[in-house]
Amino acid sequence: MANCWAIPQFWLDKSRSALISILLALAVVKPVHADPLDEQRELFRQANQALAAGQLQKFKSLSAQLSDYALYPYLVYEELRRRLWKADSAELRAFLAAYPDLPISGDLRRNRLKFLAQGKKWQEFLDFYTVQQDKTLQCYFLQARMHLNRQELLLEDIRSLWLAGESLPQECDPVFDMFYQSDYMTDDLLWQRIRLAMGNNNPALAGYLSRRLSDTERKWGIRWVDTHNNPARWTGAAAFEDTPQAREILVHGITRLARQDVSRALANWESLRNKYTFSEADKGRALRELAIWSARKNHEMATELLDTIETSSVDDTILHWRLVTALANRDWHSLLRWTSGTPPESVTWQRWYYWQGRALEETGRTEEARVFFQKIQDERDYYGFLARDHLAIPYEMNHRELQEQPEAWQEVATFPAVIRARELYHHGMLYAARREWQMMFDALSNYQLQIAAVFAAEWGWHDRAILTLGRAMAYDDLVLRFPVVFEQLLRKYADQRQLDLAWMYALVRAESAFMVDARSVSGALGLMQLMPATGKQTADRIGFRSFENVYLLEADKNVTIGSAYLKQMTEQFDGNLVLATAAYNAGPNAVLSWLPKEVCIMPEIWIEQIPYEETRKYVSRILYFASIYDWRLQQKVIPVKDRMNMIPLRKNLHAANAHCGSKLASVVLNQ
């Protein structure tokens, strides 16, 4: 069912590029006596160097020539920042008034506020203060009002900050001490925060707060913490009197116990529900957690418990565990029942309809199944492409570029934040450039965001173009969303290591969106998001000399090492792209532990059962990204199903074809 696609001729037409060039040039037009843009850029570079070297006179001379340059405020800021502790307040206020919307203005204000608070200059602190997200600064603000006896609404504002499920900075302690002595501090208010703390899995904070409860209430706070720490004991004893606090604590205990021992949680819940007058909401919460954890642990009661969830309460989590349970047991009738009707708004409707169609297929209702596949066949995603595979029709990419409206494009081209972001990007000041770009989002309409994405792509800033189109919910310009960049580099290593080029492109697109200096919260680096330890091991294996972590932030070195690791995963999993993709994300040991032990399994079923949500979404995303990249590379489009091989037994991993055949049955992955 493959099809060949070519890039539409209208994209190859240079008219749009020409228009962009004209608009960007207009954005920097200056009077004839002004320096050209390239000269301003050079002066800016020299000014930064002079300041870094401490050559203040040279810096002032150079920066004086740049007052009409988009990045002039950054020069002023950098000089101010270096003497913030002694800068004149009027000078700082003038900067903040002149550039109120710049990210660096927020930095300057926050740093000045911290300096003033540490020096206990409370009046000046209040003069400089604006609403802040930083909890420490919020506490300093309350302190300033307390010290200056600004009592109006002070206790109300302290209450709003105090009422949180996490511990707050020590800078809050002085105002909280005052709050604890006020009439605002009641058992009811303490219970509100205890609930927030327990909901945030913070029993230490809940225990601390419980000690402030009155004598009659304190025991319930202590019981809640005890039940959290030992749910089997306290939900089994049923020793509490039937009060609202007791019921709340016991439901919490049952949900905790379900994670540890489903059978015991079920037995304890059956006993408790006959002794306590739980509300319908209490029962619903307990049954939801029991159903989820019974499914996660493949408990024999999973199907029955999942059946108790009302349709109005079904969300993506419940849908997922219903899928896992039904597919593990090949219970197509339950799956059909669970996906009947219109999907609730809180679920991924494409997933719902796809598996409704599959359940109909498996129960012999093939023509009815086609109706549901047709409902999603126009979706350009994993389930939409799989639906087309079942319908045996070719993929339609439905690429549509943004229509040109010169006046609107000119307006965006001259938007100050766009110009500043462009100049920062040109100078390699990527963090600052991204902050400018991010702050611009709320100021632009969705159409204007799409125009900005076109500009970003024209500059080569593809990760911002992709991000911006996502923010605008504009998914049809596939040339912008799936750029063919680093082609020589990626093609070289795809050929050298005999890797599927479109698959490799899909992986880079999913990992980093082509951000060369991408850094994940877990520490993965660069285009192919390699962990430093993995990078070093792979570099050593391929004879890469003198590896350093920073190499992963260079495109050529990252792809050299990343493609070698991808090849390693491909070989370890016998060319199975589904398994290799999962292993690249979750690690090979995890994937090995998820392989079936008794019979082979269809790849689409295995993917739905992947225990890690991130990996599950990652694998499905890369599979359909690869088909889109086939189209972008102007090569034969490989259907998603043709990149998905049967999932073999672990013991027969390297002889999958000999042992899988067409025999399929249920399999349960280790959760």
Q: What is the secondary structure of 190-205 as a DSSP string? A: HHHHHHHHHHTT-HHH
Per the structure block, which two tokens stand in for 156?
């109300």
Helix (H, G, I), strand (E, B) or coil at 4: strand
Q: What is the pLDDT of residue 16?
A: 54
Q: Measure the CA–CA gap between 5 and 260, rounded to whole angstroms.
A: 52
Q: Which of 131, 113, 109 is nearest to 123 (CA)?
A: 113
Q: What is the pLDDT of residue 666?
A: 39
Q: What is the pLDDT of residue 653?
A: 80
| Tens digits of residue pLDDT in 55-114 | 999 999 999 999 999 999 999 999 999 998 888 889 999 999 999 999 999 999 999 999
Residue 356 phi/psi, 5-degree rounding, is: -65, -45
Q: Which of 30, 109, 32 is nearest to 70 (CA)?
A: 30
Q: Which of 375, 318, 369 is nearest to 347 (CA)?
A: 318
Q: Which of 619, 627, 562, 561 is nearest to 591 (CA)?
A: 619
Q: Are 211 and 222 in contact (CB under 8 A)?
A: no
pLDDT above 60: residue 665: no
Which pairs count as long-range contacts for 165-171, CB under 8 Å and 24+ apart, including other chains?
165/193, 165/196, 165/197, 165/199, 165/200, 165/202, 165/205, 166/197, 166/200, 166/202, 166/205, 167/202, 167/205, 168/135, 168/139, 169/135, 169/136, 169/139, 171/117, 171/136, 171/139, 171/140, 171/143
486-562 adopts what CATH topology? Answer: Lysozyme (1.10.530)
By percentage, how much of the chain surpasses pLDDT 90?
A: 88
Q: Measure the CA–CA gap between 225 and 670, rounded to whole angstroms.
A: 31
Helix (H, G, I), strand (E, B) or coil at 647: strand
Looking at residue 638, the DSSP 8-state letter turns out to be P
pLDDT above 60: residue 669: no
pLDDT above 80: residue 521: yes
Q: How many CB atoms lie within 10 A of CB 366?
A: 12
Q: Which of 277, 362, 552, 623 is nearest to 354 (CA)?
A: 362
Q: What is the pLDDT of residue 651?
A: 80
Q: What is the pLDDT of residue 655?
A: 62
| Tens digits of residue pLDDT in 423-465 | 999 999 999 999 999 999 989 999 999 999 999 999 999 999 9
Residue by residue, DSSP assigns 349-382 as HHHHHHHHHHHHHHTT-HHHHHHHHHHHTT--SH
Helix (H, G, I), strand (E, B) or coil at 226: helix
Confidence of residue 30 (pLDDT cuts 50, 70, 90): very low
Q: Measure the CA–CA gap between 663 and 661, rounded to whole angstroms.
A: 6
Q: Measure the CA–CA gap between 56 and 194, rounded to whole angstroms.
A: 55
Per the structure block, which two tokens stand in for 633?
């590379």
Q: Measure the CA–CA gap between 201 and 188, rounded to whole angstroms.
A: 20
Class of domain 37-172: mainly alpha
| Averaged pLDDT for residues 174-184 | 96
Q: Are 303 and 289 in contact (CB under 8 A)?
A: no
Give the HSE-up count for residue 180: Cα atoms under 13 Å, Cβ half-sphere.
11
Helix (H, G, I), strand (E, B) or coil at 415: coil
Per the structure block, which two tokens stand in for 251?
């439901």
| Range picked from 2-6, 8-12, 54-58 for highest mean pLDDT | 54-58
Q: Are 670 and 334 in contact (CB under 8 A)?
A: no
Q: Which of 504, 431, 437, 427 is nearest to 465 (CA)?
A: 437
pLDDT above 50: residue 531: yes
- Burial class of residue 549 in the structure, from the number of CB atoms within 10 Å of its CB (0-12 exposed, 13-18 middle, 19+ buried): middle
Q: Is 511 a catalytic residue?
A: yes
CATH 1.25.20.10 residue ranges of the chain are 37-172
Please state, rounded to an integer, the average pLDDT across all residues of the chain. 92
Q: What is the pLDDT of residue 35?
A: 54
Q: Which amino acid is at 550?
A: V
Q: Are 558 and 539 in contact (CB under 8 A)?
A: no
CATH 1.10.530.10 residue ranges of the chain are 486-562
Q: How many CB atoms lie within 10 A of CB 137?
A: 21
Beta strand pairing status for 636-637 and 3-4?
antiparallel
| Tens digits of residue pLDDT in 574-621 | 999 999 999 999 999 999 999 998 899 999 999 999 999 999 999 999
| Averaged pLDDT for residues 197-222 | 95
Q: Are 128 and 158 in contact (CB under 8 A)?
A: no
Q: Measure the CA–CA gap between 86 and 67, rounded to whole angstroms.
A: 24
Q: Measure the CA–CA gap between 619 and 643, rounded to whole angstroms.
A: 11
Q: Measure the CA–CA gap between 493 and 161, rounded to whole angstroms.
A: 54
Q: Which of 387, 451, 578, 610 is nearest to 23 (CA)?
A: 451
pTM value > 0.85: yes
Question: Which residue has 């000119």 as its token pair?
Answer: 410
| Averaged pLDDT for residues 292-312 | 95
Beta carbons within 8 Å of 432's beta carbon, 6+ residues apart: 74, 103, 104, 424
Q: What is the pLDDT of residue 649?
A: 92
Q: How many CB atoms lie within 10 A of CB 229?
A: 13
Q: How many CB atoms lie within 10 A of CB 275?
A: 11
The separation between the first and the last C-alpha atoms of the chain, rounded to the nearest angstrom, is: 35
Q: What is the pLDDT of residue 136?
A: 98
Q: How many CB atoms lie within 10 A of CB 230?
A: 14
Q: Measure the CA–CA gap between 214 and 228, rounded to whole angstroms.
A: 21
Looking at residue 239, the DSSP 8-state letter turns out to be -
Rg (alpha carbons) of the chain, rounded to whole number: 30
pLDDT above 50: residue 314: yes
Confidence of residue 20 (pLDDT cuts 50, 70, 90): low
pLDDT above 50: residue 141: yes
Catalytic entry in 511, 598, 613, 614: 511
| Averaged pLDDT for residues 387-407 | 94
Q: Which of 27, 33, 64 is nearest to 46 (CA)?
A: 64
Residue 364 Cα distances to 127, 200, 332, 369, 604, angstroms = 74, 47, 11, 9, 19
| Averaged pLDDT for residues 508-526 | 96
Give the HSE-up count for residue 222: Cα atoms under 13 Å, Cβ half-sphere.
9
Q: Measure the CA–CA gap between 521 and 512, rounded to whole angstroms.
A: 13
Q: Measure the CA–CA gap between 294 and 259, rounded to whole angstroms.
A: 9
- Angle between the N-to-C axes of helices 406-413 and 446-459, in degrees from 0 to 180, rounded to the nearest 10: 70
Looking at residue 319, the DSSP 8-state letter turns out to be H
| Tens digits of residue pLDDT in 463-477 | 999 999 999 999 999
Helix (H, G, I), strand (E, B) or coil at 456: helix
Q: Are 501 and 519 in contact (CB under 8 A)?
A: no
Q: Measure the CA–CA gap between 202 and 165, rounded to whole angstroms.
A: 7
